[in-house]
Copies of this chain bind each other. A is one copy, B any other.
Amino acid sequence: MGDALEADRARSAQEQADDELITDWGLLVEAFKAVSPLLLEGVHPGGEEMSGPWFEVLLRLQRSPGHRLPMSVLAREVSLSSGGFTKLADRLAAKGYLARESCPEDRRVVYAALTPAGSELAGEVKTRHAELLRRHVLDVLGPDGVRTLGSLARRLRDSARD
């Protein structure tokens, strides 16, 4: 019967540890959902809404050589299915920010490339985004906090890519 108590105590200790873990992760989920939209508030010079995927596409293209990347690569980087990215590219192209360029070496691939307008937009969006990051993240956690967060995140990311 001591055994039963022992087992009970062990189970509840385990459960408590689980609950702490769930809580801590839950905090991250909440923080992420709360902060993310703040970091895109008003980043579009035109005052329109800027969706997360648009933002990511613009930034990634701008820091890529030639301001362009194959569709499939970009799709993977922004976590979209290939079909989904086709339509996102259509919308960006309709707005004049993105153009498709064909690849002579491999005629299957299509580059998604920033137009000059797209590149300019990307630049403005990036500086406004950095401003918001300073206000909503750097000012809150401090430089050390941000570095710590980054390093924890890197470990998680690397481990998640088995």
Residues of chain A touching chain B, judged by Cβ–Cβ distance below 8 Å, are 18, 21-25, 27-36, 38-39, 59, 79, 126-127, 129-130, 133-134, 136-138, 140-141, 145-150, 152-157, 159-161
Contact = CB atoms under 8 A, between A and B. Distances in A.
A160 B31 contact: yes
**How many copies are assembled?**
2
B156 A35 contact: yes
18 contacts: A18-B127, A18-B133, A21-B138, A22-B59, A22-B126, A22-B133, A25-B133, A25-B137, A27-B153, A27-B157, A28-B32, A31-B152, A31-B160, A33-B79, A34-B160, A136-B160, A137-B156, A140-B156
Given A34-B156, A145-B152, 5 more contacts: A28-B32, A31-B156, A31-B160, A140-B159, A149-B152
Determine chain A's interface SS by DSSP, over half rule: helix
Nearest to A15: B130
A1 to B, nearest CB: 26
A130 B18 contact: yes
Task: Pick the 9 closest A-B CB pairs, nearest first.
Answer: A24-B150, A34-B160, A31-B157, A18-B130, A31-B156, A27-B153, A31-B153, A28-B153, A140-B159
Contact of A149 (B28, B59, B136): B28
A41 to B, nearest CB: 11
B22 A150 contact: no
Contact of A156 (B25, B126, B141): B141
